[in-house]
Amino acid sequence: MSIKFLIPNYDGTQQTRASYRFRATIPLKGMRPEDGIISNVKQATKDNIVVLAKKSTPKDVSYLKSQGIKCVYDICDNKWKKYLAKGWVERIVKPHNEICQNVDNIITTSQALKNLIMKHTGRNAIIISDPVEATRVEPKVRLKSRRYINIFSFGSSKHFSKVYWNQLIQKIFDTDIREFKIHCMLDRTKKFNEMYRDEIASGKLTIHEYDFDKQYQLMKECDIVYLPIVVNSMDNLIDIKVKSPNRILDAIQSGKPVITNEGVDSYLPFRKFADFIGFARSFNYDDNAQAFRALINRPKEETNLRIIEGQKYINENHSPEVIGKQWIDLENKVGRIGF
């Protein structure tokens, strides 16, 4: 049976939505010619396993079932959230639960999210992790000899808003790192440009609106990738724990040293290959600032070796070929008792 990823209205162009890239177009690079993408469930046939994801509806499941076509639901984040916008439960959670109960299997990205799915649906999801997107770059880190340090941080505005960047900048400055700039890429930058106008004017911070190509250009030009993880509530802790590792994957694969914090379960296999500074629930600005000084002072041979070892781990566990084989193997799992 061939695997068909449903991407509504797909026209063959580059997908800006990360979930469609990590959960469809990139894995397909390691899959068979007969696997592919459909833009409508009516394009599916009985020899397909259809992968439903974001924007899929209960009607999609009903149609596939009526045609005797197997389907799975790929869940990449926590939809069972509290304290969200009015109508969230009716508009998002109820259809989500209906799909979960009626598909043949559920697919997810990590053990933490698998546990959450079991808690809310009673179903035993199949784990298929994210593939790496970045092209491997040989690390050539020489931080100690750099006159000016460029730091790159990227992610959603939700991540960005939880860090007091003015405090972090001051703490880094206090470690005697004088010549540096932090480049942050996120969505919805307008209010943050106003909030941090003094730091921007000082030349220590630049905020970039998300752009796919520019993200990789900034990654190429930076010296250190910084992925701060901050948790400010128990509900937020649940959301953070189940996030995918795609940001740390791409940073290491791009040949860059990474500073982050413990909080995302899927980041934990990378502890040997990056600097983890404390826990997201107790984010400490002094410790995070000192991490930059420690990384700069570390022998370049040690830093580069850690990155190379991380890239080997990525090649063995997160390459499109490895992840593609896991998707292909669904035909041996879909419909089995216990899944």
Q: Specify the pTM.
A: 0.92
Question: What is the per-residue pLDDT across 248-267, written as a single tens digit (0 to 9) for each?
Answer: 999 999 999 999 999 999 99
| In a shared domain, residues 168 and 118 | no
| In a shared domain, residues 156 and 266 | yes
Q: Which residues of the chain have pLDDT under 70?
A: 14-16, 82-85, 335-339
Using CA atoms, how far residue 91 sits from 5, 55, 94, 239, 241, in Å, is: 23, 12, 7, 19, 24
Tokens 């909080």 sit on residue: 263
Q: Is residue 338 part of a domain?
A: no
Q: Is residue 339 part of a domain?
A: no
Using CA atoms, how far residue 177 sits from 136, 170, 171, 209, in Å, is: 29, 10, 9, 26
| In a shared domain, residues 169 and 257 | yes
| In a shared domain, residues 35 and 159 | no
DSSP, collapsed to helix, strand or coil, labels residue 321 as helix
| In a shared domain, residues 190 and 112 | no
| In a shared domain, residues 102 and 159 | no
Q: Is residue 219 part of a domain?
A: yes
Helix (H) or strand (E) holding 88: helix 88-88
Tokens 């930059």 sit on residue: 292
User: Which domain, by its residues, includes 305?
Assistant: 143-316
| In a shared domain, residues 116 and 160 | no
Q: Is residue 71 part of a domain?
A: yes
pLDDT recorded at residue 334:
81
Split into its structural domains, the chain has a count of 2
Strands (E), 97-187: 105-108, 126-127, 149-154, 180-186
pLDDT recorded at residue 298:
96
What CATH number does the domain containing 28 carry?
3.40.50.2000
- d(C-alpha 39, C-alpha 49), whole Å: 14
Q: Is residue 26 part of a domain?
A: yes
